[in-house]
Chain A
């Protein structure tokens, strides 16, 4: 299963570049996308991807490139700055915009309501962050995020301990 590394950092140092390479070496066909120079809006919450143009985001920007890659790779690793203990808004925008991967239809999974997935893919997700984070909260949040897409978390790692992700993917 190939890995998509989404690097939203404002600056990538040697440590980041080295870790990215090692992640990509884990699986053939893996790739890194730097989103810093890409034009990616926040989700505007129009719900058109569910109710008007099923599966297609109404915002025409560079996110479509990323969305297609998300469908192609089985695993996604976000490399992100942190703000207020959480991921940066650039990273949150990438995750908010993933909604077309699910349909409007609802069903119950383990006693909670979930959206029925649109595709057969269930991308696993991991986070590597720089700066200070509410680490325990981020782990819990990523568990919940992936639960929504009927997937699982690869884990959350501070950059200094980023090599830990290699044994999880």
Chain B
């Protein structure tokens, strides 16, 4: 199978968590002799080629960071350049990733992706969802790669089955919600550790303001 992957992240490729996820996924996907090519919407010069490949290929995968509960604006803008396929049969698959760790946070975005292919006369071919992907862009490469390493196995499975099955995705994306015990633990200690990490990252990036600074006045 040849897969055309469109990275719908607006973030530049070198800092894109979605790009990192795609590369890892492709490693697994290509193990069994499949091929894939990747195009990035963050680079407007790649839009024409991505559009052309959408028209000529019948296996398209959009890899998407969740932006305010759905796909980012840049992806909607790109979609406006596409025409519905004349013949039914193109499979549209999705990888949807987000920062919050619970799978339940991605369900609203997933629901839209179930609808979207019909607007292009394409077949919905499943969505691989997973959260807890905020950190990699802010971490050294070695640690960041570990964060997303489990996508390689999902690439292998996708190569064999040709689709994302709900059952496997749900297992991969768990937990759906945190347990009460985990929430209590976060309130007790996890939240404090998170704050320290965020402050450390911001300082390292030259930020000298508190992260809850209010630069604009509210009337």
A residues sitting closer than 8 Å to B (CB atoms) are 42-47, 50-56, 67-68, 71-72, 83-86, 88-90, 92-93, 95-96, 98-99, 103-108, 111-113, 116, 118-121, 134, 137, 140-141, 144-145, 148
Whole-angstrom distance between the Cβ of A135 and the nearest chain B Cβ: 12
Residues on the A chain within 8 Å of B105, using CB: 112-113
B112 within 8 A of A: yes
B residues sitting closer than 8 Å to A (CB atoms) are 9-12, 15-16, 42, 65, 67-74, 76-77, 79-80, 100-102, 104-105, 108, 111-112, 115-116, 119, 137-138, 177-178, 183, 186-187, 191, 194-195, 198, 201-202, 205-207, 209-219
Residues on the A chain within 8 Å of B177, using CB: 111-112
Residues on the B chain within 8 Å of A103, using CB: 211-212
How many Å lie between the Cα of A101 and that of B142 in the bound state? 33
Determine if B213 and A54 form an interchain contact, defined as CB atoms under 8 angstroms apart: yes
Residue on A nearest B18 in the bound complex, by CB: A45
How many Å lie between the Cα of A45 and that of B8 in the bound state? 11
With A52-B202, A83-B80, A103-B212: A71-B218 Cβ-Cβ less than 8 Å: yes
Determine if A42 and B211 form an interchain contact, defined as CB atoms under 8 angstroms apart: no
Residues on the B chain within 8 Å of A92, using CB: 67-68, 70-73, 76
Residue on B nearest A95 in the bound complex, by CB: B68
With A50-B211, A85-B119, A111-B178: A137-B104 Cβ-Cβ less than 8 Å: no
Q: Mind listing 9 A-B residue pairs with CB under 8 Å?
A: A51-B198, A71-B219, A84-B76, A108-B183, A112-B102, A113-B178, A118-B214, A121-B218, A144-B108
How many Å lie between the Cα of A130 and that of B102 in the bound state? 34
Residues on the A chain within 8 Å of B10, using CB: 42-45
Determine if B70 and A86 form an interchain contact, defined as CB atoms under 8 angstroms apart: yes
Determine if B216 and A93 form an interchain contact, defined as CB atoms under 8 angstroms apart: no
How many Å lie between the Cα of A45 and that of B42 in the bound state? 10
Determine if A43 and B67 form an interchain contact, defined as CB atoms under 8 angstroms apart: yes
Determine if A54 and B211 form an interchain contact, defined as CB atoms under 8 angstroms apart: yes
Determine if A46 and B198 form an interchain contact, defined as CB atoms under 8 angstroms apart: no
Residues on the A chain within 8 Å of B111, using CB: 137, 140
Partner of B216, one of A44, A71, A99, A112: A71
Residue on B nearest A101 in the bound complex, by CB: B216
Partner of B215, one of A54, A85, A89: A54
Residues on the A chain within 8 Å of B112, using CB: 86, 134, 137, 141
Residues on the A chain within 8 Å of B69, using CB: 141, 144-145, 148
Determine if B73 and A105 form an interchain contact, defined as CB atoms under 8 angstroms apart: no
Determine if B115 and A112 form an interchain contact, defined as CB atoms under 8 angstroms apart: no
